[in-house]
Every structure is written in structure tokens, then in C-alpha cells.
Structure 1
Amino acid sequence: MFHNILITGGAGFIGSNLALKLQKEYPNSKILILDDFSSANFKNLKGFKGIVYSCDVSTDEVFFKIEDFKPDVIFHLASITDTTVTDQEYMMRRNVDGFKNVLELAYDNESIVVYASSASVYGNVREKVPLKEDREKSPENVYAFSKYIMDNLAQEFAEKTSLKIVGVRYFNVYGPREAHKGKFASMIYQLYLQMKSGQRPRIFKWGEQKRDFVYVKDAVDATILAAKAPRSTVYNVGSGEATSFNDVIKYLNQALGTDFEPEYFDCPYDFYQEYTQADMTKIKEELGFVPRYSIQRGIKEYVDILEGRINE
């Protein structure tokens, strides 16, 4: 049971879904959200009953904003998630320095820390096999590098202080409350918007690239469970399945009642992950986590929410 819960980045995509789920699961707990609103939207927190402060956790103001709040657990989701940012100093300062501040806060309050890592740390994997947490890392851009360094920092800090620090290595998360991300929202949402407007969905040639898409409700469940990990570690958070872009369009067609054919075009990127699939063995064995949503079920529920057929 958590009495005081701190969520950084709590007005963002995963953070807001997490805040509302925790509010429901722990109705007697106090939940405090810190978010600088640089890539978030207050509308994501409709129905949230806790406190929200505007705060950039990479600055010293974070220590003053929560000086009277003693968190039992910190869910650290605040970071620059735009993978196209090339300003290395900016990315590292916001992500890595911000995480260091959060760890110092945790040390002062003896808090458990659960933080957002990323499957991007694995790099461009050639062999099509599920990715295990302990495989070699090969970050290909500064965003992935910042997450890789955060993983290293977490391990070092945990060994030095005996704090429990647990990383959740998210794969391709999609679902409600991501619309504010615009062009950085999930591919599933982008394709939905194209098809909803009557356009053929555009994907890179020839649509056989595969991704591990995980529905945000599953990602949130795994994140909450991670706070109960037996020790400091990192867990993959995916569906455990690799789904082709062509199949995503097929499932969107089924959910929308449409029959669009894909429009293929050349990939413009030098670096592009052709294949991702999470090995979910570790989180299943240690925490008992099994995703509830297949890609087909997740897309159907998501489209039903977007279309107003069901409530979130």
C-alpha cells in the first residue's frame, strides 16, 4: 500500500493513464504530479483529484516543489520523448540530469523509484528474435543514448544506496491520451487519423516491418507492478508479439468497418528499427505480469474509444 505517490510527467501519455489508474486502485493515497507541460495536456487529467504542479525536474525547483511531500514511491516518466531532437546537450540535461535529481529526492525520502526506460536502447536489431533485457545495447540516437545512460545511473545509484530502483523498458505503447503528441503519437493513432479522414494509410515499403505494440493499459499495469519488484532491475514492457504494419492496417480496417489498401513509400530515415519484439519472460516470472491485450483487441478498444462508442 502506497500512502504518498509522486508521478513526474503525470500529464503526459503514459503518466496520465498511470495517475488515473493509481487513483482508482489506491483511493486513500495522496498523488502528486509534477509536469512542465512542454509535451503534455491538462485534458489528459480530467477526473484527477490530486495535486498538479508545473515543474521541470531537471532544475533545482523540484526539491522545493515537494519539500512537504514524502513519497513512498516515485514513478518517473518525465523526459524528452521526441526522438528527432538532435540537440545533445538539451536531451542529456533534461533526461539524465532530471533523473539524477529524482534519484536524489528518492534518497532523501527513502522512496522506491520506477522509471521509464526504452526499447530504443537495443538499437537496430538484425536478428528477428525476442529481445532479452541483458542483451548488448546499441543506442542509435541521443534519445536512446539518454535512456541507456539512465539505466547505468540507476544501477550505480541502487548499488551505492540500496534504494530499490526499477526500470520499465517500454516498447511501442499506444492508446488513449496520446493525441496531444501530434506527429509523435503512435503509428496506430496516425494511421487511424488517415483512415478516418478517408485517406489510404501510408506506410514504408512494403509494410512487413514488425513492431512490438503494447496497449497503454497493459503498460500501466506493468509499471504499477514494477514497484513491487524483489530488487533493483529492469523489465521489458511489451506485448511479447511482433506485428507487421500491414496487419495493423488490417485490424484498423476491421475496427472501423473500412477496406483501405495501404499506400507504400520509401523510408526516409538512415536509422530505422525494422523489427522489435520483447522477451517478456523476466517480468512474467518475477512479477506474474501477462499482457491482457492482443494487438487486435487493443486496436478495437482504442478505436471504440476514439469513435465514442465506449468510455475510457
Structure 2
Amino acid sequence: MIIVTGGAGFIGANLVHALNQRGVTDILVVDHLSQAGKFLNLTDLDIADYMEAERFITLLEEGKLPAIEAIFHEGACSDTMATDGRYIMENNYAFSKTLLHWCQLRNVPFLYASSASVYGMTQQFREERACESPLNIYGFSKFQFDQYLRHVWPNLKAPVHGFRYFNVYGPRELHKGRMASVALHFYQQYRRDGYVHLFAGSDGYGDGEQRRDFIHVDDVCAVNLHFLEHPRTGIYNVGTGQAQTFNEVAVATVGAIDALAKRPARHLGALHKAQVIRYMPMPEALHGKYQSYTQADIGALRGAGFSAPFLNVEEGVSRYVRWLAEKGR
């Protein structure tokens, strides 16, 4: 059996889908369904069982679960604006340590979600301590677990892979609300209002010219499954290695919607003239806490043997918009 924690969530449900595509259905999904709408991410998937996280950890420690082949640990509170530090550290840090040690004692591969938020405002995105300075409690919880893993590194016996996800977008994120990707927000705004909202210039960048490393969730899943099949213990950036602007995401989103509607293609200048892109001031709450630039250094990922190409924004957003349209979202 394969365990996917957070399996009803965004990346977790896509991992279940990717496993299903490979013929794997002996999967236990672990999650919290206090937000009941997440069940929709599972309705087209095949799993062996579902379990709430608290019951799962109890049965795991009591040895009452079937033989486990691997654990994909995607479960976490991912709200970067959360302020309850005790909850975040218990849910994201302590829970992860429990799973790590269980896997080590039983020689079970452990693949877990870290985050690019560990880097904070740095301009260097390498998997090195000198580059890491998280800006919020969510980022700290991910950083501290990475640090803990480094501390126990010499004693590891089973494979452990930490994936520092950059800006992930794609199917099965509708439940995330304000924490969903900008691609989804732009899609919803343009279809509802006929225009999209971007932040005005900040940190020396022009309007909408802030840059992030946007990666499609299909590529994230491909990385996870690669290391399940080809273990190489380490902490790895999972991004495309190429930053692109929010303007580019907006143009790709509007262009993909227009293409489905068989409307003529428009470039950024035309969208500005038509006021399809509108800029708004950055909220005060984000001042000093907003990453205006991220770009994964994927040298370690490539060096560990993952050689597949990544979708760029134009390709990935077009794929995502088609999925949303097909689902009637």
C-alpha cells in the first residue's frame, strides 16, 4: 500500500491521479475533511481507503495498518498568512518528524513536501543554509523540518526526499480559495468580470512584472514518481528553473480562454489598451513579506537524475485552462 497524506488536497490528489495512471490503486488517502468540499478531488480517483489524519497516526504507531510501500507526505497547513504558530508547528513539523522516524525504523521511502517559502526574500534559491530565511510561520515550519532532516542525515537508512515546491498551479486546487494559484484566480476573474487583477509594481519591478517560478502540478508529480522509482536521498528544489512574470501568466490565461472561444489572439499591449489587465496596490499585510522574485536553482535536481523537461507558463496554463473548461469550472 502507498500512503498519500494530504491526498484530498491539491498536490496530493494529483499524485493519486498520477499513481492511478500507472495502474496503482492500493492507496490510502490521509487528510482532514473539515473542509468537506475537498472530497470532489477524489471522486474520479481510485483508492483503497480514506482516513482522517488523527486516526491514521494512531493506527500507524500501533502497527495496525497493512504493509506500506512508501509515504508521500503532502499534508500540511499551507496558509502563508496563518498566525497560529502552535498549530502550524504541530501540524507541519511534529507530524512530519513522527512519519520520518516511523519510515526509518521500517525502511520505508519517505517523500515529503517542503516549500520555496524557506528562502524568504533571498535572491539565491539553492538548497543551502546560507540562502534560507523564511518570512512567516508556514515557511519556518518547512524550514525547520528540513533542518531537522539535515541533523539526522548521517543516521538515515531508508530513502528520504524533500521537495521545495515553487509556485505550483493546475487541476484540483479549487478548494484552496485565496491560496489558489494566480492562474486560477485570473481564469475566474476574466470569465466573471472580463478583466484580471495584478499587483502594481513593487521592489523595483514594474506593474505585473514581478517574477516567480511557476510550475504545473503534472511536473511536480513527475518529480515525485521519479524519485520513488529512482531513490536518491536529498532536498531538492522543484521548479522549472525559469522565472516568468505575472503579466505572462495573465496573457497566457486570457489567451487560452480566448482560444477556446475562438477569439483572436491578443498580446500584452492589446490587453492593456482593452483594460483587460488592471493593476492594484499591494495590500499592507504583504509589505516586506512578498516574494517579488523566485527562480529555482535546479542543479541538484538535474544532478540527481531527473532530466525530463518542464512545461513553461504558456504550455502549462493552456493545459490547465482546457481542464477547467472541460470540467465546467
Question: Normalising to structure 2: TM-score of the pair?
Answer: 0.85
Instruction: State the AA in 1 paired with 2:294.
Output: T
Quote the residue 2:38 is aligned against: 41
Quote the residue 1:144 is aligned against: 139
Please tell me whether the aligned partners of residues 35 and 56 of structure 1 are also in contact (alpha carbons under 8 angstroms): yes
C-alpha distance in 2, partners of 1:308/1:60? 37
Quote the residue 1:267 is aligned against: 282
C-alpha distance in 2, partners of 1:182/1:175? 14
Q: Does residue 323 of structure 2 align to residue 305 of structure 1?
A: yes
C-alpha displacement of 1:233: 0.7
Please tell me whether the aligned partners of residues 55 and 62 of structure 1 are also in contact (alpha carbons under 8 angstroms): no
C-alpha displacement of 1:224: 1.3
C-alpha distance in 2, partners of 1:145/1:159? 23
Q: Does residue 281 of structure 2 align to residue 284 of structure 1?
A: no
C-alpha distance in 2, partners of 1:62/1:202? 46
Please tell me whether the aligned partners of residues 30 and 56 of structure 2 are also in contact (alpha carbons under 8 angstroms): no
C-alpha distance in 2, partners of 1:45/1:83? 25
* Cα 1:58–1:136 shift into 2, 3 Å: farther
C-alpha distance in 1, partners of 2:189/2:28? 37
Instruction: State the AA in 1 paired with 2:73.
Output: H
Q: Does residue 191 of structure 2 align to residue 196 of structure 1?
A: yes
**2:193 partner SS:** coil
* Cα 1:102–1:37 shift into 2, 3 Å: same
Quote the residue 2:126 is aligned against: 132
C-alpha displacement of 1:179: 0.4
Q: Which sections of structure 1, spanning at least 5 residues, go unmatched?
A: none
**1:7 partner SS:** strand
Quote the residue 2:161 is aligned against: 166
C-alpha distance in 1, partners of 2:298/2:84? 33
Please tell me whether the aligned partners of residues 121 and 145 of structure 1 are also in contact (alpha carbons under 8 angstroms): yes
Aligned length: 303
Quote the residue 1:73 is aligned against: 70
Identity %: 34
C-alpha distance in 2, partners of 1:226/1:37? 28
C-alpha distance in 1, partners of 2:63/2:169? 31
Q: Deviations over 1:139-172 (max 9, x none)?
A: 1100000000111222333432422211011000
C-alpha distance in 1, partners of 2:62/2:177? 29
Please tell me whether the aligned partners of residues 20 and 48 of structure 1 are also in contact (alpha carbons under 8 angstroms): yes
C-alpha displacement of 1:11: 0.8
Quote the residue 1:248 is aligned against: 249
After TM superposition, list the pairs within 5 Å mapping 1:77-156 onto structure 2.
77-125=74-122, 127=123, 131-134=125-128, 135-156=130-151
* Cα 1:62–1:79 shift into 2, 3 Å: farther
C-alpha displacement of 1:52: 3.1
Instruction: State the AA in 1 paired with 2:155.
Output: K
Quote the residue 1:210 is aligned against: 211
CA radius of gyration, larger in = 2
**2:183 partner SS:** helix
Please tell me whether the aligned partners of residues 236 and 280 of structure 1 are also in contact (alpha carbons under 8 angstroms): yes
Instruction: State the AA in 1 paired with 2:253.
Output: L
Quote the residue 2:266 is aligned against: none
Question: Normalising to structure 1: TM-score of the pair?
Answer: 0.90
- Tell me which stretches of 4 or more aligned residues in structure 1 moved more than 6 Å: none
Q: Kindly report the root-mean-square deviation, in angstroms, between the aligned alpha carbons of the 2 structures.
A: 2.2
C-alpha distance in 2, partners of 1:157/1:8? 22
* Cα 1:68–1:297 shift into 2, 3 Å: same
C-alpha distance in 2, partners of 1:247/1:66? 50
Between 1:184-193 and 1:48-57, the stretch displaced more is 48-57
C-alpha displacement of 1:23: 2.0
* Cα 1:247–1:20 shift into 2, 3 Å: same
C-alpha distance in 2, partners of 1:42/1:289? 34
C-alpha displacement of 1:251: 1.1
**1:138 partner SS:** coil
Which residue of 178, 186, 194 maps to 2:181? 186
C-alpha displacement of 1:105: 2.5
**2:308 partner SS:** coil
